[in-house]
A and B are shown apart, each in its own frame.
Chain A
Amino acid sequence: MSALSRLPRLMRVLLLMGVLAAVPPLLTRVAPSLFSGLEANIVGTGTYLATAALALNILMGYAGQISLGHFALLGVGAFATGVMTSPTRLALPYLLAVPVAAVLGGLVALVIGLPALRLRGLYLAIATIGFSYAMEQSVFRVKGLSGGSGGIDVPRPIAGSFTFLKTADYVAILLVLLVAVWALDVNLTRSRLGRAFQAIRADEAVASSFGIDVARYKLLAFVLSGAVAGVAGAMYGGLVGTVSASAFGYQFSLLLVVLVVVGGLGSRLGVVIAAYVFAVMPRLFVDIFGEGIRGWDLIIGAALLMVAVRNHPGGVAEALRERKDKRTARRAQAAGLTDDPNPATPALPQMPRPASRAESTPLQPGQPVLRVSGLTVRFGGLVAVNEADLVVPRGQIVGLIGPNGAGKTTMFNAISGLVRPTEGRIELLGRDVTADPGHRRAAAGMGRTFQNIGLAKDLSVTENLLLAQHSVAEYSGWEALMSVRRAPRVERELRERAREAVVALGFERYADTPVRQLSHGQQRIVELGAVLVTAPELVMLDEPSAGMSPGAAENLAVRLRDIRDQLGRTVLLIEHNIPLVLDVCDTLTVLSAGRVIAAGDVDEVARQAEVVSAYLGEAVPA
């Protein structure tokens, strides 16, 4: 095993392909009674279903977009393969048809993905089921395209004098393709692509705050998923020999959703297991209970499905994880380890800095990091922010305060690009960014936190710190998928920086813990670390002290000064904790009912009677 793990990854993948490809043809020749065409067919069914489930898993499990029409994309791949290889049509080699099936599947998926930019959840579900139904009833029955309702032949490949006519031989090709898809999927999840997908699934606003172009990555998820589905379609075509429209009813798309959910959303291994179990189950039933079970097997299978989903809504993956968690908990108990009730509340450390980001963007003298002028945000008839001005000079901590509902967070959202201002102008580092989407502002040097924690909470601390570096991870999608050229090197750098950040935050023991399992205060610290890890010019913090213990909030003041003095960042702070604000801020802007009612030096503003009555109350000595 150790010799094996020392091999380069590509060699390991090729080795696995070779071994898997050799097994079925050898087995059927050595022990034909054990592994005949029937058994090979089961393996083939499981293999193309596993590939299809991996395709849907990219979309649903990683990117969180639903599709109830994915089997229609298999249809696109299968019919494309038919048109390419059928002797009465183009009669091209099968291996040429596979990439074409992938490209067509990806293109059609792109078209389905377009409405997904505006739709979500149930609406997207119905649109995709409608797509699948229309493909099956209409497009797949067009004679010129698919040979009409009779279907189209998909011959199995011939390579030189060797034919893959035997199912066991053909299945060898399918297994190689599945390993290839699996390897690509692994690369995907370990790259900025996979992390961007997961961030979109977790929270689109958070994804955008990390510099992720949500629309672009959603479409990319559809295209990748469609391409893999197209390949699964090519696999399916050769396996059954003749494909016709009726094989692509929407019920089959529902079956794929079942496989992905039962396997566990986002779990590669889970969905592949689910696919093979589904393929082998009918045969298992007959082997165990005899021929009399036929007809009953489907009834029992469907009943088992209901029971399984009811008892384990998270699927195979969840069940496996629960077992593992229990085991680790037992082991931890045995070793006498218990959770530290008072986790580290470190002073904000020197955060590592990406090399690709210049020390500081040069500014003209007197030019602020952020200048907001005449900002108005209307929601229908409600004016949330009314002609507000705000200036954040470099190297300062600027407080944005005001009573609840004054429009502070709305102003934050307008500045960071989550909300479209009705009027006004936003300049970041001297550049007008009013028309820029949020992800571009993030990439230009604007980092922000959220009141309800801007992290992907199902991901671990390390993964979030990697995710946060999205905009400084400079390699292309191809490099990511193939894990070549810049990708491995940049990933190493990101990981190194994430590790340093984990150490700097004092979170070594939580490095691989999902953020959800941390306390609220700990999540805040990780969030702050995620914002700082790319060293943004402007750090925008939305109520960082909310939910912190008094001690931790005190510590926060030290940390905020560190951000300004040690890291040389500029801070815009929304905060309700007035003693903290008065303690750390250089200047203050006070919002009330959407208007700026006071702005200036902290002492000056705090003395203004208007502010005192609007917000601070009599009790606070200014």
Chain B
Amino acid sequence: MARALIKVPPKAKRGEVIEIKTLISHIMETGFRRDNVGKPIPRNIITQFTCTYNGEEVFRADLHPAIAANPFISFFTVATESGTIAFEWTGDNGFQETGSAKISVE
């Protein structure tokens, strides 16, 4: 069970550009390392991150092994209406994690 931290401003003016910050705990094993007996450690990374605003996709990222452990992603979106901003991380070995935050727009 991975832990995700999400930072979304709770309130915003209509049309304001807001910054969203996300951090999720994940090893992001590259698949290029070996363990202490020389056996290759299989790849285990998050491959995709998606952010939807009231169901509509506003940001998506494809991640590669070059992304550091515990992926941090920050980006921007326009505060259009009150509602829910949802986040989804998917990855190797059926990894899936979701999170969400409420925003009220005046």
Partners in one complex: no
